[in-house]
Amino acid sequence: MHIIGIIGGVASGKSAVAKRLAERGAAILDADGAAHDVLRETDVKRRLRERFGDGIFDPQGEVARHALAPIVFAPGEEGAAALADLERIVHPRIGERLQAQ
C-alpha cells in the first residue's frame, strides 16, 4: 500500500487530483472536509466562542473562517498562542473524523 499526501495552495487542483485517484480505486481521507464539519459541531463552536469571542461567528452562528484567520495567523506570541488554542480544540475532533473515514 502506498500513502500519498496531496498538498497545495488554494485552487491548485488538490480536489481534482483526489477525484482522479478515487476514480482509480484509491481511498481518500479529506482533512479539509473533516475540518469544515468539525467547525459546525455545537461543542466545538461553544469552545471557540469561549476562547475567541462572538466576533468569529457569522449571523447564522457558524464559524467565519475569514474572521478567525487574522487572529490565529497574527504575528508574534499572541498569534502563536491563538493558533495553538485553535489546534487544541479542533485537531482531536478532526483526527476522530479521519479515523472514521
Per-residue pLDDT 10s for the chain (101 aa) are 788 888 888 789 988 999 999 999 999 988 888 999 999 999 999 999 999 999 999 999 999 999 999 999 999 999 999 999 999 999 999 999 999 87
- Rounded-to-integer distance, Cα 87 and Cα 91, Å: 5
pTM (predicted TM-score): 0.82
DSSP state, 27?
Answer: -
Q: What is the CATH number of domain 29-100?
A: 3.40.50.300
Sign of CA dihedral 69, 59, 62, 19: negative
Sequence spans of domains, the chain: 29-100
